[in-house]
Structure 1
Amino acid sequence: MIAKLTGILDDTGPDWAVIDVAGVGYLVHCSAKTLAALGIRGDVATVHTELQVSENDMRLIGFASGAEREWFRLLTGVQGVGSKMALAVLSALSTEELQRACGGGDAATVARAQGVGPKLASRIVNELKDKAGALPTAPGAPGLAAALPAGAASNDAVSALQNLGFKPLVATQAVAQALDELGEGAQLDALIRVALKKAAR
């Protein structure tokens, strides 16, 4: 699977770009925000990619960041949202705006995307609300890690959950929820105990 391309930006269109990698031109479908981030023809460009294969089509979708790709995967997991619709949402909203909208139940913001009606916007928000906080909004910046108060107890609790086999994002989300329940002054042992219950759901 092709995960990333780096090459010369050879050509662009309304929703696509051609990236020349060592003489091979890759047609990559992109959101408007990714196209804007790629620069102008002749620039060196890097895109994170997702290869989509169907019965009669195979296409590369390109993203300016790994965060945008993760949101694309989440969006296309929602019933009624195909790749074109997901790119329309990512053209209208930044990953930060999308995270805030889903986390806050703000369907009206999602409905700003071209072709997304109120019903579909509500479905997107409802299905992604619980997942929104755990996704990154920029390269390498986990969404919920920033929400954790800086402190040894919260960091140690996240490490403890990771040592028990939980993925980093799951561990961070569970500790954030435990902090909400117990308060920022929570002791480490109580924090781990409650976070474990949250992570195991």
Structure 2
Amino acid sequence: MIGRIRGTLVEKSPGQALVECAGLGYEVDIPFTTFFHLPEPGEEIALHTHFAVREDAQSLYGFASRLDRDLFRLLIRVNGVGPKLAVGILSGLDAHQFIRCVEARDANSLVKLPGVGKKTAERLLIEMTDRIGQLEGQFVPLSSAATGDRGVGAVVPASSHAPRDEAEAALIALGYKPQEATRAIGKVAEEGMSSENLIRLALRNMIPAG
């Protein structure tokens, strides 16, 4: 099991980071909440990881905090929740916000996540109520450093694609319908905004913080 990786961040994009470690480049799938915390390419990075092996693929998932990684591992044990959906959940809500949803029995916030219907939301609330106790000692009260405002000043490297197009594509890849992505980005788009900030603000509007 690969539980942690430290190396140089070579590339980053919503949903994935390329980390060079000991001469090897590791493609790491990440939720948006982790993407927002990444440094600039060329800087050192450390991620808590989960290595998943299937018959047709091997995937490495990375998280900015151990709490997010451990919650991911609990989520994929829920019936009907695979790694892709778990990443989607942790892209819309960080671990603190998700735990608060469970504690408050807030199904409304969960159903706004891509791929989470009413039945899945109810299943999450039921099964995760007991399991979040396994995170005892890691869950601390939210502070200004633990909210979605972290890393606001980070900048996504320039590319040939318009930030708005990149942001819409990222939301669609996460599981939102194209019209939902276009509408969400359109509500927050302003001149000169990076794709990262467009994604962050769109997600905040779609999934209010608890």
For the residue of structure 2 that corresponds to 1:37, the secondary structure is: coil
Runs (5+) with no aligned partner, structure 2: 142-210
Q: What is the letter of the counterpart of residue 7 of structure 1?
A: G
- Contact between 2:103 and 2:129, CA under 8 Å: does it hold in 1? yes
- Contact between 2:8 and 2:43, CA under 8 Å: does it hold in 1? yes
- Contact between 2:47 and 2:63, CA under 8 Å: does it hold in 1? yes
For the residue of structure 2 that corresponds to 1:89, the secondary structure is: helix
- Contact between 2:67 and 2:139, CA under 8 Å: does it hold in 1? no
Aligned counterparts of 2:40 and 2:111: Cα–Cα separation in 1: 30
* Number of residue equivalences: 141
State the partner residue of 2:139: 143
State the partner residue of 1:50: 50
Q: CA deviation at 1:115?
A: 1.9
Is the counterpart of residue 75 in structure 1 residue 71 in structure 2? no
Q: CA deviation at 1:130?
A: 2.0
State the partner residue of 1:183: none
Q: CA deviation at 1:134?
A: 4.1
Counterparts in 2 of 1:135 and 1:56: CA distance versus 1, 3 Å: same
Aligned counterparts of 1:17 and 1:87: Cα–Cα separation in 2: 14
Counterparts in 2 of 1:13 and 1:143: CA distance versus 1, 3 Å: closer
Identity %: 35
- Contact between 1:71 and 1:95, CA under 8 Å: does it hold in 2? yes
Runs (5+) with no aligned partner, structure 1: 147-201
State the partner residue of 1:94: 94
Structure ranking higher on relative contact order (CA contacts 8 Å, 6+ apart): 2
Aligned counterparts of 2:114 and 2:31: Cα–Cα separation in 1: 12
Q: What is the letter of the counterpart of residue 120 of structure 1?
A: T
TM-score (norm 1): 0.66
Structure 1 stretches (4+) deviating beyond 4 angstroms? none
